[in-house]
Structure 1
């Protein structure tokens, strides 16, 4: 890809340690076909893409029709399945929000995409706000919730506070990791919750597919969180991890994408069947290995 502008990190973006090792190289199989190195922090356990595109240059790596969270319409079978599952999971997410805060209240979704979750939450009685940097997705979101979706967290009033803040598959995309987490926490009420969902590079499907694992998604995924690095988030930002939950559907979807990367010429039927088998196996293995699912959901509160 032309005009690639990379920034090289000299410290871990989470714990600021300079003790990290360069590990495997992963190819961007979705867009550019470029290879990116994954570094492993020996202090906090975080894996991070390094060097990586700068915040100003990374936009072009999102410019492909299969980036489904930025679109409302299904144009192929995989996207149709993604959006069908998303409708179901959104209902479950709203129920979970309400289980945490039965009185409901103010809800911020950071990286809200096209605001499907926020719209459902709003219909259920939550007062909603969204952050979405992608212009196309933000425009679609504001067409549903006019004036409630902002480009950056800096656009929020400094006094704005929320009962629940969610980052569903968002934290791995944020360039200014520590700064942004601090800003987010500043907008959390003293008895509020932060919910973070991230892919797991130590899951069964990650190991099975190796360099073809769709969860790497370099360079769009700047960070790759394991259990140790998630615990470090709690320690660094004075948060208490109160619950960890599996995201069962992710193993099937990630396996489907990974199958396409590993063998682009296989038949559609074979690809879907193998993805179903791999996704089921991933969930079964995670149940044996203390929650090592393809993606996990972490619920934090202030200490």
Structure 2
């Protein structure tokens, strides 16, 4: 770590910010990159964005990180659609019922109900990848879904009515949305402020932007440092803090309405592996059974970190401010 006079791309602070060297680990190249952490807003950001950034998103990275899980492309089941409507209404009208509802249904349904989202709401998933989350929403009866991603390849006509996935970026957006989702996208953006401002222009007056991202003012960052799995150089260009997200929101005509913290058990386990053997410790070296045992031991500990608001990830609910 050293100091050098640099300008923060989020708050504009120009100072001798602390500098760090981080290694690419997920793909196993162990190439080194310089980052700096803003002395004012705390945003951890890469000094120089690689001109060939696309090569760091090759197949091994997508296979291990971006494309986990199996797509459900089946049509909507009427019973499931009806249950989805019931959960959305219940979460909106009776917040006390949420604890019970989350035991039976996905937590995101309760979140959307709390936000006043229903199955007719216009929803954009920006940086949607292959659209896994959109297919889940469609399965619960949502009918106005758009996914936009600059890297996705839509090779065939989607069989789902009311669900569209397109290759492209914010410059191709049209229309207004009640909910815009940036799920672990903002840390990958070369110009986060520009994209947030564009999202603001396509948000309804009562709408919400949900930004989920790692936090560089978390216990995980302080504990693991260079071995923190959520650092992920050079793909993560900007790692926000709560303060820097508030600054970015304000500069984009938005404000933080709510923060949900998430310690992320898998990420914690990966960080531990990197710290034990940074040149070879990949999550794939552990069996599923070993990972399961390890995560159970972590569960209570990580819940405490969530309660303290010191988790290594968070979801920010942004409203027009």
Q: TM-score, normalised by structure 1?
A: 0.79
Written as runs of structure 1 = structure 2, the 5 A alignment for 1:203-282 is 203-248=218-263, 250=264, 252-262=265-275, 263=277, 264=281, 268=287, 273-278=293-298, 280-282=300-302
| Structure 1: tracts of 5 or more residues without a match | 1-8, 75-87
Asked whether the equivalents of residues 205 and 278 of structure 1 are also in contact (C-alpha less than 8 Å), the reply is no
Specify the alignment match of 1:297 in structure 2: 315
Residue by residue, what CA displacement relative to the aligned partner does 1:151-209 show, whole Å, maximum 9, x if unpaired?
Answer: 2122222xx10001011111000112221111111111111101111112232232222
Q: Residues of 2 paired with 1:204 and 1:213: CA distance?
A: 10
Specify the alignment match of 2:131 in structure 1: 115
268-277 or 236-245: bigger deviation: 268-277
204-213 or 194-203: bigger deviation: 204-213
Specify the alignment match of 1:97 in structure 2: 112
| Structure 2: tracts of 5 or more residues without a match | 72-102
Q: Residues of 2 paired with 1:239 and 1:147: CA distance?
A: 27
Match of 2:7 among 11, 22, 29: 11
63-72 or 126-135: bigger deviation: 63-72
Aligned length: 273
Match of 1:46 among 43, 46, 56: 43
Larger radius of gyration: 2
1:144/1:173 CA distance change after superposition, 3 Å:
farther
Written as runs of structure 1 = structure 2, the 5 A alignment for 1:27-66 is 27-31=23-27, 32-54=29-51, 57-63=52-58, 64-65=60-61, 66=63
Match of 1:134 among 132, 151, 173: 151
Give yes or no for the alignment of 1:151 onto 2:168.
yes
146-155 or 266-275: bigger deviation: 266-275
